[in-house]
Amino acid sequence: MSRLALRTAAATATLGLLVACHPGEPPGGAAASFQTPSAEDVVPGAIVVDFRDGTTRADFDAWEKQWNIDLEFNSIEGEQSGITVAVNVQDVDKVLAEIRKNPAVESAEPELRFRIPPNEAGLELTEARGPGTAGFPNDPLYPKQWNLKAIDAEKAWKRSTGKGVIVAVLDTGIAYETRGDFVQVPDLKGASFVEGYDFVNDTNEPHDDHGHGTHVAGTIAQVTHNSEGVAGVAYEATLMPVKVLDAFGYGTSADIADAIRWAADHGADVINLSLGGGGYSQAMASAIDYARKQGATVVCAAGNGGTGRVEFPAAYPGAVAVSAIGPDGKLAFYSSWGKELDIAAPGGNKQLGDEGGILQNTISARDLRTPVYAFYQGTSMATPHVSGVAALLYAAGAKGPDQVEKALFEGARKVDGQQGWNEKYGHGVVNAEGALEALGTGWLGVNWKPLLTALVLLVGVLLTLGRKQRPGYLNILFTPTFLIPLVLGTVGFFVVRLFTHGASSTNGLVQAAALPIPDWKDVLFGRGRLANPLFYSALIPLVLSMLAVAIKRLRPVIGGLALGFAGFLAYAAWSKAPAIAWLPFDFLAVPWLVVNAAICLFITRAMLRKEVAA
């Protein structure tokens, strides 16, 4: 029996057992042993070995004799990714222990099973054609899409429609063409597609044999204003269909890891993963890290477990984890949440009525050749809203995942007086208009508001000084020793962005230079959900100001840096974007930022004040 057949049989045998299982936790460190996930998440007798880039088939052919297994590249991506799979392994733990001793092995683990979260499909409607609604968009079922109104899509479409951006949908495939047993759904006729791949069947025809993937793709880029059906978030974006889940909605860690890397290698700007479960897979974690370094934003469903535990792949570092809200704006009853969560989005809540779900064009669960408009609910449905907004941001000039995520989080709508980040909504509910506003779509695609805030504060500082104590305005602004630290503290060395696809794709020094100094924490400590209070404070300017006591020529430099921090922190407080780590309550974030901005202004004043002779 082939590897594909063995895995399909195993998946089918456990269909009745899989409900809402909890994922395993990642290893505690590089040397930690792998924690085995629950038994129903493991493909029996199958292992995944991820070799270092450059390892050849001849290399592992020699080693597999020693290990007494038969390894094969998992897919067409294998020669680039180094991901191999072996099946019918008799003693998995013993074999893995031997394999991990080889220095060419990046990771070796049991092959895991991932899936569509359960109970997402819902009410199906017949095809919708007609003259359409008045105005834009004229799609006849658009009035039922409460979700697009909830994210201010109409306002955002005046700024961006996602044109030219490639969004990879890693799912059950997409009903993108009519061929053989498969049909194209009518509301994707005229949509833009690039070549995809089917990692389940190893073909270049990623057709949907389930319906889930087509529904997800519709939320991202359904053809809009065509007097047909419904609308999509980034309706001029280009879809890349990548099939990683079979007709039952199951897939494997090896296929998903290869697919993530393949999508990134083939130009995907955004990668949507509306799937979960399985447990921790180092191969998948490495694939997400690889995709980010290639400049792709990876967006994942938090899970439908209804508990405070974010599932994988959403819980991996570098993934944007998405929870779901219903039409009432509240966290949906099924939505998972937790410390890895980044943002919330409309996912539906059919407890509030059948039409409380997310409506999109897909294929019927009863007949794959029958297109329908169906209300689904789940974090699977919330995730493509965030992917769609990410596409709008890329089309508007965002240069990489760091910039996209910053705009997503700063532009998110706060819920119920939310201050900063929390475990149920992350940074808030995604808002397309707010994200584009936060991106700063002006000159060079830079958000200049922190710098403008700093300049306004500078005027206030100078007005507090006496005429004889006050330096000349123009003398300050045109002095490089003052101006350069000010720019670095508010917007970073923005010119770097003109020469890189995104800061994430470059080395640490260049990445840091492209960020405001307070955000250097992301380079030094890694991307986190919470802002580091050592950087989002007056600490750095305060420590450096002590040098000015002995070295007076440093005063303009420290004054510019302190003003930059003041502008950055004041703007952060006004936008209520970050939550600060180590604070006992979220509501303390804004007071923290305001107080530290004030301290920075006091330092600025001290550095700029001219000494007056008695």
- Domain 3-111 indexed as CATH 3.30.70: yes
Please, which pLDDT band fits residue 479 given cuts at 50, 70 and 90?
confident
How many other CB atoms sit within 10 Å of the CB of residue 204? Answer: 10
Tens of pLDDT along 579-607?
788 888 777 888 999 999 999 999 999 99
Q: What pLDDT was estimated at residue 38?
A: 72
CA distances to 41, 48, 241, 280 from 110, rounded to whole Å, are 10, 6, 27, 10
The residue from 212, 215, 385, 427 that is catalytic is 212
Taking only the tens place, the pLDDT of each residue in 229-285 is: 999 999 999 999 999 999 999 999 999 999 999 999 999 999 999 999 878 999 999
pLDDT at 341: 95
Active site residue 207: no
**104 Cβ contact list (under 8 Å, min separation 6):** 51, 52, 55, 59, 60
pLDDT at 27: 37
Q: Report which of residues 25 and 410 the model is more confident about.
A: 410
For 443, counting Cβ atoms within 10 Å of its Cβ (0-12 exposed, 13-18 middle, 19+ buried), the class is exposed
pLDDT of residue 513: 66
Q: Where are the domains of the chain?
A: 3-111, 124-439, 443-608
**C-alpha torsion 25→30→32→35, nearest 10:** 30
Q: Is the pLDDT of residue 497 over 80?
A: no
58-86: average pLDDT: 92
| CA–CA dist 61, 533 (Å, integer) | 51
For the cut 70, the answer to whether the pLDDT of residue 495 exceeds it is no
Tell me: pLDDT of 101 over 70.
yes
The segment with the largest mean pLDDT, out of 74-83, 214-223, 431-440, is 214-223
Antiparallel, parallel or unpaired: β 371-376 and 124-125: antiparallel
C-alpha distances in Å from residue 472, one per residue of 321, 541, 549:
49, 22, 22
- How confident is the model over 312-331, as pLDDT tens digits? 999 999 999 999 999 999 99
284: exposed, middle or buried (Cβ count in 10 Å: 0-12, 13-18, 19+): buried
209 is catalytic: no
Taking domain 124-439, whether its CATH number is 3.40.50.200 is answered by: yes
pLDDT of 72 reads 94
Q: Is the pLDDT of residue 498 over 70?
A: no
Upstream peptide bond of 241 is cis (omega within 30 degrees of 0): no
Q: Rounded CA gap, 587 and 597, in Å?
A: 17
Report residue 22's pLDDT band, with 50, 70 and 90 as the boundaries.
very low
Q: What is the pLDDT of residue 368?
A: 79
Residue 283 sits at φ, ψ, to 5 deg, of -60, -40
The model scores a pTM over 0.85: no
pLDDT of residue 4: 41
Q: Which one is catalytic: 380, 505, 537, 545?
A: 380
Three-state secondary-structure class, residue 166: strand
Position 565 scores a pLDDT of 96
The confidence score (pLDDT) of residue 468 equals 79
Lowest mean pLDDT among 10-24, 200-214, 342-356, 523-537: 10-24
Q: Is 212 a catalytic residue?
A: yes
Q: Is the link from the previous residue into 137 a cis peptide, with omega within 30 of 0? A: yes
Per-residue pLDDT at 439: 85
Phi, psi of 140 (to 5 degrees): -60, -30
Segment 516-544 shows an average pLDDT of 82
Of 171, 246, 342, 402, catalytic: 171
Share the mean pLDDT of the chain. Answer: 85
Lowest-pLDDT range of 146-160, 399-413, 500-514? 500-514
- Matching fold, domains 3-111 and 124-439: no
Report pLDDT for 89.
Answer: 92
- The pLDDT score that the predictor gives to residue 293 is 93
